Amino acid sequence: MRDSFGAKGTLQVGGKTHTIFRLKALPADKVARLPISLRILLENLLRHEDGRTVTRGQIEAVLEWDPKAKPETEIAFHPARVLLQDFTGVPAVVDLAAMREAVTRMGGDPEKINPLSRGDLVIDHSVQVDNFGTAGAFGRNVELEYARNEERYAFLRWGQQAFRNFRVVPPGTGICHQVNLEYLAGVVLEGADGTLLPDTLVGTDSHTPMVNGLGVVGWGVGGIEAEAAMLGQPLSMLLPQVVGFRLRGSLKEGATATDLVLTVTETLRKLGVVGKFVEFFGPGVSALALPDRATLGNMSPEFGATIGFSPVDEETLAYLRFTNRSREQVAIVEAYCKEQGIFHTKDMAEPVYSEVLELDLATVEPSLAGPRRPQDRIRLRESKSAFRRSLSQMVPADAHDARFEIRDGSESYQLGHGSVVIAAITSCTNTSNPAVMLGAGLLAKKAVERGLTAKPWVKTSLAPGSQTVTDYFEEAGLTPFLEALGFHLVGYGCTTCIGNSGPLPGHIADVIEKQDLAVAAVLSGNRNFEGRINPHTRMNYLASPPLVVAYALAGTMDLDLEKDPLALDHNGNPVYLREIWPSADEVKQAIRSSVKAQQFAARYDAVFDGDERWRALEVPTGKTFSWDPDSSYVRKPPFFEGVPKQPAPLRNLDNARVLAVLGDSVTTDHISPAGSIALNSPAARYLVEQGVAPKDFNSYGSRRGNHEVMVRGTFANIRLRNQMVPGVEGGYTIHVPTGEQLSIYDAAMRYQASGTPLVVFAGAEYGTGSSRDWAAKGALLLGVKAVIAESFERIHRSNLIGMGILPLQLEAGTSAKSLGITGHETVDVLGIAEGVIPGKTLDVRVKGADGASRTFPVLARIDTPDEAEYYRHGGILVYVLRRLLEG
């Protein structure tokens, strides 16, 4: 890694010294003008500068960021983590399993193969609301979930066990974004080497920016990008424009974070922020509780931005403590963010933005959004008229007031256009927020105390984003009141918001279909597109959880909640929404008394263990491929056997023997033939020993999955001419210590038995012809450590390096013949131990049988920094293995 700006330094936190890449090493005026989200990208580039993937030019481009310029500068972003949900996560794990098989075929240990960037998969998208409105709904829904998804879950459970840097949060735990907010996100992470870095991530769900509320930069991507990121590959992105959204004031009585985010969504959609960052700043940010900020970040896809970022401040630290993050972690977050200038304070200089919008929080009104798009905000006081306008686009005016009787056992009621048939407290957007959730519970309590009930045609459901929600409902004593209105727990996961609302009761669905009714769903979600929520609901409205309860009580969209009564109490008196709406003080008191850090500690202590069903799954065994020891076609190759996690220090090549002295234009077919297997060859002997009849030998090409055949076929071409055995064609050489003429394979095995390394001398254009990996693999397995040639063909040269064999090029005009090489010498290669870099000259010392020695220079044909790294690791395959193992 490079450090062009001298940014690498240390930071002391709690008596421990950490490495950081200090933004203060850069020009202060240039950093100070950057939005905080771009400062985090800048640190990411500083930490990954290597001169190749991340260059000094990229860092300078961020420093010189033009907020008005059209994004054209490409940078490489290395996310620290990857978040997956099960719909998109299963195929990603399938790909990783396939990659693991490939690595296993190369000889790796699958238990050591893991993503470089931590991958966390939360199973949250598969639960459906089949059962509702009863105490047993949750248990029955879970049973159905497992019955439908057992094979998928068993596979993910295998992945949970097989990949060490891959974790699976079992079903029934919560929504990935809320689990991320409450547990997975660290805000500042500590790398394996002690380096502190901002927590960053990409996720396979568009609402990943929910964690932006915690000061974490992250957004949603497709599965392939996520897999690449998990394997440590950077994501290429254009340096974005950043829209600043200044917040001031505070929310007035009756307004919720849901109302705020619907207002912001409407505003930003009108502006147009697709592909841009949005960063919230100003004094109003400090007035927002962290779950409110998370609600803002969650809706980034709805307003079109890549992220909706709120910076770290004192509220962030308070939330980390509240959710049971360790004291040490909170101290690291505070110290690091303040040191890096990414900790927001009221006296901080305002960054420069591409554009600035402003909102006075006191102007936010209770709102809905719908009936088809999240950006179509409706003021609650205008909801009836807005509903009527929408209805006019669906139903003729003379049919608006039509009502149709439904009989359900002894009960009968009427259903019409605008009837609310689904009222769902669901989705990541709001169920992360204790204020709106407890607000819903308090409203339910007041409604029940007034004798109100949910309308019988409303399918009610409660699907919290995490188990802590039901904990604080219990603590607050609100669960009985929610259940009295039919808001029983149906699951912990993404339900109605993604279309997992489950079927409507048959007698309801039949009337809707028969009469072609335009009925509605009200949900505390983030998306309400046509056909998404339920096939029977043509109108779908987003609302805060308290409003979801209110509409369950009303049972229709065709009323003005500010003027019209919700229902009549048990004395026949009208009950208005304003009479049962909890005050801000009541909500705050409920939060203080019922939401506790111990709840987060208890719920996340064993979050990856799962319930009895999860633990009882029949998980596939065989973390390694079941190699058949009798197979003559496929064998476990030995390339990674005994490979340490870290490369050993490079060593000079001492007392090597010469395996062959070859002439010009030796092809990869000479080195590793693909044709028939000669009857008198080492490969033929091996196959006969395995019980294979000569008629079944097949070809070298067909047996490339068996290294035992391929190593015996290396340098076994019947037309090979080794100058150590003049006049002899084929794969033969001299075993110099004994003077015996042997097959190249047999001689190499003798040398290996005595621990003697080998070299090959060759003429010009060594390795021409096909790109044949076994021409390098076979040489490695024979024990060849270096090839000294007059010149190399490009692909084979890189293949040699890829297998950890050093290509050494003789000086122009020099050859093995001119140097008097016979192949009976011992060979030392000097200068390797000091490191091999592109363009380095090494010395080769050869000693004859008479003890006389001579030395000549060679050019190490390591042409790029990457190749130097591959060679240092013993080859690209080992390099990749170690990269995957770093975890």
Tokens read off for 621: 């065994």
Homologous superfamily of 369-604 in CATH? Answer: Aconitase, domain 3 (3.30.499.10)
| Nearest in space to 761 (alpha carbons), one of 786, 743, 798 | 786
Q: Tokens 């609650």 identify what position?
A: 380
Position 640 scores a pLDDT of: 64
89 vs 62 pLDDT, higher one: 62
Phi-psi region for residue 791, left (φ > 0), alpha (ψ -120 to 50) or beta? beta
As a whole-number percent, the residues of the chain with pLDDT over 70 amount to 92
Residue 159 has phi, psi (to 5 degrees) of: -60, -40
Give the separation between CA 674 and CA 772, rounded to whole angstroms. 9
Cα–Cα dist 287/36, whole Å: 19
For the chain, give percent helix, strand, coil, nearest 5: 40, 20, 40
Distance in angstroms between the alpha carbons of the first and the last residue of the chain: 18
Helix 290-298 vs helix 257-271: crossing angle, to nearest 10: 40
Q: How far is CA 33 from CA 65, 66, 215, 285, in A?
A: 9, 10, 18, 19
Instruction: Please state the rounded mean pLDDT for residues 481-488.
Output: 98
239 pLDDT higher than 60: yes
Q: How many CB atoms neighbour CB 267 within 10 A?
A: 17
Angle 457-139-522 from CA coordinates, rounded to 5°: 30
Question: Mean pLDDT for the chain?
Answer: 90
The CB density around residue 881, as the number of other CB atoms within 10 Å, is: 24
Task: Give the mean model confidence (pLDDT) for residues 144-172.
Answer: 83
What is residue 887's predicted lDDT score, i.e. its pLDDT? 44
Residue 855 pLDDT exceeds 50: yes
Higher pLDDT, 525 or 620: 525
Predicted confidence band of residue 99 (pLDDT cuts 50, 70, 90) = low
Residues pairing with 218 in the sheet: 201
* Pairing outcome for strands 403-408 and 411-416: antiparallel
Of 44-48, 777-781, 840-844, give the lowest mean pLDDT range. 777-781
Max distance between CA atoms of the chain, in angstroms, equals: 118
Q: Which residue has the higher pLDDT, 375 or 867?
A: 375
CATH 3.30.499.10 residue ranges for the chain: 77-363, 369-604
Q: For domain 653-886, is the CATH number 1.10.10.10?
A: no
DSSP character at residue 793: -
Pairwise CA distance, residues 779 & 694, whole Å: 25
Torsion angle in degrees (nearest 10) through CA of 223, 464, 327, 293? 70
Q: Contact, 823 vs 853, CB < 8 A?
A: no
More confident residue, 358 or 94: 358
Indicate the pairing of strand 307-309 with strand 277-281: parallel
Residue 558 pLDDT greater than 50, yes or no: yes
pLDDT of amino acid 211: 98
**Confidence bin at 692 (pLDDT 50/70/90):** confident
Decide: helix, strand or coil at residue 350. coil
pLDDT single digits (tens) 775-804: 888 999 999 999 999 998 766 787 798 889
pLDDT of 111 strictly over 90? no
Q: Return the amino acid letter for 486.
A: G
Helix (H, G, I), strand (E, B) or coil at 558: coil
Q: Name, in order, each residue with C-beta under 8 angstroms of 721's C-beta and a sequence gap of 6 or more.
A: 662, 663, 728, 729
Tell me phi and psi for residue 387, to 5 degrees.
-60, -45
Contact 378, 370 (CB under 8 A): yes
Q: Under CATH, which architecture does the 77-363 domain have?
A: 2-Layer Sandwich (3.30)
Amino acid symbol at 683: A
Q: How confident is the model at residue 701 (pLDDT cuts 50, 70, 90)?
A: low
Q: Name residues whose C-beta falls within 8 Å of residue 516's C-beta, 6 or more positions apart in sequence.
A: none
Task: Please confirm whether the linkage preceding 857 is cis (ω < 30° from 0).
Answer: no
Contacts of 444 (CB under 8 A, 6+ apart): 478, 481, 482, 484, 485, 487, 549
pLDDT of amino acid 573: 94
pLDDT value at position 625?
A: 41
Query: How much is the CA Rg of the chain, to the nearest whole Å?
Result: 34
Domain with CATH 3.20.19.10 in the chain: 653-886
The model's confidence at residue 510, banded by pLDDT at 50, 70 and 90, is very high
**What would the 3-class secondary structure string for 209-236 be?**
HHHHHHCCEEEECCHHHHHHHHCCCCEE
| Better-predicted residue by pLDDT, 741 or 220 | 741
Distances 435 to 473, 547, 585, 793 between C-alpha atoms, Å: 12, 13, 11, 68
pLDDT value at residue 631: 67
Q: pTM, whole model, 2 decimals?
A: 0.72
Q: Is 589 exposed, middle or buried (0-12, 13-18, 19+ CB in 10 A)?
A: middle
DSSP class per residue in 643-689: --SSPPPP--EEEEEEEEE--S--BHHHHS--SBPPTTSHHHHHHHH
> With the CA atoms of 263, 264, 266 and 270 taken in that order, what torsion angle do they form, in degrees rounded to the nearest 10?
140
The C-alpha atoms of residue 607 and residue 599 are separated, in whole angstroms, by 13
CB 68 within 8 A of CB 354: yes
Please report where in the chains the tokens 């004859």 appear, as a residue: 848
